[in-house]
Structure 1
Amino acid sequence: MIILIFLSSIFLIFPALASEKIIIQYHIRPPFFIEDPKTGLVNSGVIYKLVTNIMNDTKIPFEFEKMSFARTMLEIKQNSRRICYPAANYNSERKKYANFSVPFFKDKNFVIIARKDDKRIPSNANTEELLNNNDLKLLLKIGYSYGDEIDKKLLNYKNYSPSMGAQKESKSLLISSMNNLQMIETISNKEADYFFMGGNEAEFILTYFEKNAKNLRIVPLANAISGSVRHFMCTLRVEKEEIDKINNSIKKIMRTGN
């Protein structure tokens, strides 16, 4: 009887982690997360499939939840729920308020997307020269990290950091929460001149949104910058033991390919 009372009190104080879901937040972002046009919910994508396999292998209950990127970053900072964003770049600032998994996906080298007829942007562009040219307007997605190397250059040349929150736009900078299609249309319509993107994503979206991207091109960077490495980025409510399970499943799936 004493043992039963003792065990009951433990479960009241420390609810079993296995019974608590982890919410996997995502936003539609081909080719990583692709929606079913009938339901508007995710049903395909490179990272979606990987994450599903990883989480199924952990045996931790989970569900997907569609959410804007900006809202996801805010919720992770607030730490009010058990949330993971499974396509995050790691940086030291984010590590202050989130738990990270080991990496599980690496994109191709960064490129830029620009108009075919924009002669100001050469066919093998140099990152520093582009950023230093204030006659060119760079389009950025608010809160996005482009990896340490590009983030440092953005801070140096544009005084922009994804951790700064709301920032003033300028003649050479447009900051937005647009989706990929809207970003393509913004470049196509000459409201901005270029944006950075990983090679996998750039190749896919110019095909996926072919009708909207007829006057656009992919421009390799002369000083090749390695593509983003993706991690699970989770609220601190997701315990270390669960991150360990996610890490073990990542390593297993990366090793076996299943």
Structure 2
Amino acid sequence: MPTANRARSNRMRAQASIAFMRFALALCLALASKVSAQELGPIQLHYHERPPYAFTQDDDTVTGITAAPAEQAMRRAGLAFKWVRTPSNRQIQLLERDTGKNCMVGWFKNPQRQLIGQFSAPLYRDKPTIGLALFSNTKIDSGIALEQSLQDSSLRLLVKDGYSYGDFIDGLIQELKPKKIVTTVENLNMLRMIALDRADYFFIAEEEANELVKAAEFRPTDFKYIHFSNSPSGSQRYLWCSRQVSEATMAAINQAIVELNADSQLDEHAEVLH
């Protein structure tokens, strides 16, 4: 009888062990399937309406001087993606939460942003930063240094919350502490704030200023461009991606961007030769 009991006990332990292994195998397969689905799922390319960098066309496609190379890089790397129109502050929140495969199109790189996301190879380099002011504003004109405008207590600088204007200008703003008006609205409404004399000027890349005045339906003569005597070369713009985007995927994106930039330089060289 003791022998029969031991045999029955051994069978029960064996059955329990097999059942546990089956459960563990099923759990591993489920987790592997979930990881695979996450890796294969499309990258969300986030943008907000900001001509000429990124904007929606009449046929609902997205284009622009940062949007177009971002899409080309995704296609060249063979990656699935989906365009998502998202306000800029919401884009920052998505990266802070790191809950999905998100890439923000056309952002500047700085140390604070590198703490919550990863940056691609550069998509585009801006022209030098200018100031945008009302033409009738006699307190500010071209030819002054950036430091002069920022130290002038009579001038109200309009800045967008969470934005970077490049390392040099960001550093001057932090050091000189100008009179600032901080807003969360997009550039179109920032221009309207200037028109309503709620601020004196704001920083912007010249190529964007041209499109902005057109989009706002103001007359170009209503505003003036402030060319600073020491404005540095424009900053580069990147894809700013969440940590959920794998290293392998980022490597594929970067390789595609590098190849596209090389192709573009060859095309420019060929045009010069012709």
Which TM-score band applies after superposition, normalised by the shorter structure? 0.7 to 0.9
On the 8 A contact 2:67/2:106 being kept in 1, the answer is: no
Match of 1:183 among 169, 190, 193: 190
Q: Which residue in the other structure is 1:94 paired with? A: 113
Q: CA RMSD in A?
A: 2.2
Cα shift readout 1:171-213 (whole Å, capped 9, x = no counterpart) = x211112222211111111110000011221233234435255
Bigger mean CA offset, 86-95 vs 10-19: 10-19
Bigger mean CA offset, 43-52 vs 124-133: 43-52
Whole-angstrom distance in 2 between the partners of 1:113 and 1:54: 32
Cα shift readout 1:48-91 (whole Å, capped 9, x = no counterpart) = 21111111111111101111100100110110111110211111
Whole-angstrom distance in 2 between the partners of 1:175 and 1:212: 25
Q: 5 Å matches for 1:78-93?
A: 78-93=97-112
Unaligned runs of 5+ residues in structure 2 are: 1-24, 268-274
Match of 1:209 among 205, 216, 223: 216
On the 8 A contact 1:87/1:232 being kept in 2, the answer is: yes
Structure scoring higher RCO (CA < 8 A, sep ≥ 6) equals 1
Q: What is the TM-score normalised by the length of structure 2?
A: 0.81
Whole-angstrom distance in 1 between the partners of 2:186 and 2:116: 26
Matched, 1:240 2:253: no
Q: Which amino acid aligns with 2:224?
A: R
Unaligned runs of 5+ residues in structure 1 are: 160-171
Identity of aligned residues (%): 25
Instruction: Summarize the Cα distance change of 1:183–1:69 in structure 2 as closer, same or farther, 3 Å threshold.
Output: same
Cα shift readout 1:132-180 (whole Å, capped 9, x = no counterpart) = 1121111111110111111111111228xxxxxxxxxxxx211112222
Instruction: Summarize the Cα distance change of 1:175–1:155 in structure 2 as closer, same or farther, 3 Å threshold.
Output: same
Instruction: Summarize the Cα distance change of 1:18–1:60 in structure 2 as closer, same or farther, 3 Å threshold.
Output: farther
Q: Which residue in the other structure is 1:250 paired with? A: 257
Instruction: Summarize the Cα distance change of 1:42–1:211 in structure 2 as closer, same or farther, 3 Å threshold.
Output: farther
**1:229 CA displacement:** 0.5
Cα shift readout 1:22-72 (whole Å, capped 9, x = no counterpart) = 1111100011112246x8x55332222111111111111110111110010
Q: Which residue in the other structure is 2:3 paired with? A: none
Whole-angstrom distance in 2 between the partners of 1:179 and 1:86: 15
Match of 2:147 among 124, 128, 136: 128
- Between Structure 1 and Structure 2, the one with more helix by share is 2
Instruction: Summarize the Cα distance change of 1:68–1:90 in structure 2 as closer, same or farther, 3 Å threshold.
Output: same
**1:115 CA displacement:** 1.3
Q: Which residue in the other structure is 1:28 paired with? A: 49
Structure 1 segments of 4+ aligned residues over 6 angstroms from their partners: none
SS in 2 for 1:46: coil
**1:238 CA displacement:** 0.6
Whole-angstrom distance in 2 between the partners of 1:214 and 1:244: 46
On the 8 A contact 1:111/1:221 being kept in 2, the answer is: yes
Q: Which residue in the other structure is 1:66 paired with? A: 85
**1:17 CA displacement:** 5.6
Number of aligned residue pairs: 240
Q: What is the TM-score normalised by the length of structure 1?
A: 0.85
Q: Which residue in the other structure is 2:207 paired with? A: 200
Whole-angstrom distance in 2 between the partners of 1:64 and 1:212: 32
Q: Which amino acid aligns with 1:104?
A: L
**Over alpha carbons, which structure has the higher Rg?**
2
Q: Which amino acid aligns with 2:49?
A: I
